[in-house]
Chain A
Amino acid sequence: MTLRLDRAQLESLRHHGEADYPREACGLIGGVLQGDRKDAIILVPVVNAQRDGQRRYLIEPESFRRAQVKLDRDGLDVVGVYHSHPDHPARPSAYDLAQAWPWVSYVIVGVTRGAARDVRSWILADDRASFVEELLEWQSPS
């Protein structure tokens, strides 16, 4: 699979990670499926409901439900979830894996001392045993 973001979306993702540092930032990505590629159309930042927000994030079911209803109305899907890893690399943790949903892209922004570094995207393997990195494409909006 490939996830395609435009450059502005990539920048706002990075900004969100920096703005919420040292807490983890999180949100949903609304988009459409184009064959083997997911195209991001809109970012939906969500309040991190996790109290210990420096090491974890939580998108509560109510937030997910609201976003899903709105995206459904616009003919979009929740194609991805993004979150930041403050002072950790943009690789999924065992905790990410244990909680993961299938099919959606997990975009992780590594933020080191307040500055966004790498952005990578991952997807749960069919046997739920691991994450597989997927191609992240970005392009300037046409």
Chain B
Amino acid sequence: MAVTVLIPSPLRPFVGGEPALQVEGDSVAQILERLTAEHAALRPHLFADDGRLRSFVNVYVNDRDIRRLAQRETPVRAGDTVSIVPSVAGGTAVADTLPGLSHEEILRYSRHLILPDVGVEGQRTLKAARVLLVGAGGLGSPAALYLAAAGVGTLGLVDFDVVDRTNLQRQILHGTSQIGRPKLESARARLLDVNPHVCVETFETRLTSANALDILKNFDVVIDGSDNFPTRYLVNDACVLLRKPNVYGSIFRFEGQASVFAMPEGPCYRCLYAEPPPPGLVPSCAEGGVLGVLPGIVGSIQALETIKLVLRRGEPLIGRLLLFDALRLQFRELTIEKDADCPVCGPRPTVTALIDYEAFCGVGAEPAPGGPEITAPELKAEWARSPSLVVLDVREPHEYAIARIPGTRLIPLGVLPGRLGELDPHADIITHCHHGVRSLKALEILRAAGFPRVRSLRGGIEAWAVEVDATVPRY
């Protein structure tokens, strides 16, 4: 069973100048064995001393790379074409400049070092790598912990928040003792405890169009662990402009997404989502809730993809959107094409510098609801004077189950327009919610419907719990 073996120019002098040979065999391994038996001078150029195919030697059966088939065991049939195709690489002394490993590091990373696809060179490549995490929260926590443990040499962190008790249900970088401290301080301490060989660079700032390029340019891979659309588009565009891979993840309630954007051969975030959703349509984790384990899974996938990109191993999530459903425990995958008209990564880009992402996402474009407000202590005093005051809770029933102000009525904002008949238009009404935003929307609905004496509780039940009644739990 003869197959045609195509020989590239650099190897032709070793086979008598022939561009193609007929070789008998049932598998790629047999073909290469017979080829090098007959033309012994080929062997050192195809195989390394340990007998493995050299990394820059690619073998195709017909049009497919054997790395995507059964490697050297890939079967061949008469009439197939086996091509030996060079990848040509080089450059200024890089291998020479990879950092070395100490005895302590060799021991620490021994489970990596014995992996054929990592090995000493891979571990040194990890040590030389610089990875930036945008956000040290739900996604950034597991990603940073695993990357630090894996020996990524430099981790950059961008965050400006302080650790809050509500973070601890999912943000495993931070502990109870760190409440009130800046997240970056807490993260640095934890990461250095996991692995003192890691260099942690912190950027205590909000990522903006003014600083993004300066921060990102010094890193090899960027992990987007942000929780809002303006930052997502900002990270994406900056990555495209700087030619850095954008390892994307997002979570909502019980569902997560992950992908690798902004690689030259694949799509970017804008190819997938050309336009942001209208502001307010997609609730944040603070508004919609999130299962604590979910960012653990999605953030770990981001860490995994980052390591694959650094090591150049496996098949990264390029051009593929991974969808994870925690309740069904299902992973699905969508193929995403590069958009030929993409304004950032397309062949005729219209976005060639960073823009105003808040404006692009319509943040602040909608007039904020407004109206007369009352503070929690004022409400307490007035309620004591006038027990007929109607205090209307416009939160959701599951929030009402967590905490309530005694004596209130519950009509969730979403159903309020249909239930106005239940309210007395002449009563004094105080609307309240969690933090005082939805109650202002309720106030607008009521006033538009002809209720003249409505006010909103500033700061919501949160302010009530802090300033008036400590027996009401905060959430």
Complex contact A92–B9 (CB within 8 A): no
Complex contact A57–B89 (CB within 8 A): yes
Complex contact A93–B56 (CB within 8 A): no
Complex contact A59–B88 (CB within 8 A): yes
Complex contact A102–B10 (CB within 8 A): yes
Complex contact A93–B94 (CB within 8 A): yes
CB-contact partner of B9 in A50, A78, A83, A85, under 8 A: A78
Complex contact A83–B90 (CB within 8 A): yes
Question: Taking each of B93, B243, B245, which has the highest tally of chain A beta carbons within 10 Å of its own beta carbon?
Answer: B93
We find that the number of chain B residues with CB closer than 8 angstroms to chain A is 34
| A85-B8 contact in complex given A52-B220, A61-B86, A65-B83, C-beta closer than 8 Å | no
Complex contacts, B45 vs chain A, CB 8 Å: 101-102, 128
Chain B's nearest CB lies how many Å from the CB of A89?
9
| A56-B87 contact in complex given A77-B12, A102-B14, C-beta closer than 8 Å | no
| A50-B85 contact in complex given A93-B94, A102-B45, C-beta closer than 8 Å | no
Q: Check B377 for interface membership: any CB of A closer than 8 A.
A: no
Complex contact A102–B11 (CB within 8 A): yes
CB-contact partner of A85 in B55, B86, B88, B92, under 8 A: B92
Complex contact A93–B87 (CB within 8 A): no
Chain B residue nearest to A28 (CB atoms) is B88
Chain A residue nearest to B87 (CB atoms) is A61
Q: Check B96 for interface membership: any CB of A closer than 8 A.
A: yes
Give the complex CA separation of A65 and B6 in angstroms.
Answer: 10
Q: Check A109 for interface membership: any CB of B closer than 8 A.
A: no
CB-contact partner of B86 in A64, A77, A92, A106, under 8 A: A64
Q: Check A60 for interface membership: any CB of B closer than 8 A.
A: yes
Question: Taking each of A57, A87, A93, A128, which has the highest tally of chain B beta carbons within 10 Å of its own beta carbon?
Answer: A93
Complex contacts, A92 vs chain B, CB 8 Å: 90
CB-contact partner of B90 in A51, A52, A57, A65, under 8 A: A57
CB-contact partner of B220 in A51, A78, A94, under 8 A: A51
Complex contact B85–A61 (CB within 8 A): yes
Q: Check A70 for interface membership: any CB of B closer than 8 A.
A: no
Complex contacts, B93 vs chain A, CB 8 Å: 88, 93-95
Give the complex CA separation of A59 and B88 in angstroms.
Answer: 5
Give residues 5-46 of B contacting A (CB, 8 Å).
8-14, 19, 44-45
Q: Which 8 residue pairs spanning A and B have beta carbons closest together? A: A56-B91, A96-B90, A93-B93, A78-B9, A101-B10, A59-B88, A61-B85, A61-B58
Known: A55-B91, A78-B9. 16 other contacts (CB 8 A): A51-B245, A57-B91, A58-B87, A59-B86, A59-B89, A61-B58, A61-B65, A64-B85, A72-B19, A88-B93, A92-B90, A93-B95, A96-B91, A99-B56, A101-B86, A103-B13
Give residues in B with beta carbon < 8 Å to A: 8-14, 19, 44-45, 55-56, 58, 60, 65, 83, 85-96, 220, 243-245, 263-264
Give residues in A with beta carbon < 8 Å to B: 24, 26, 28, 47, 49-53, 55-62, 64-65, 68, 71-72, 77-79, 81, 83, 85-88, 92-96, 98-104, 106, 128
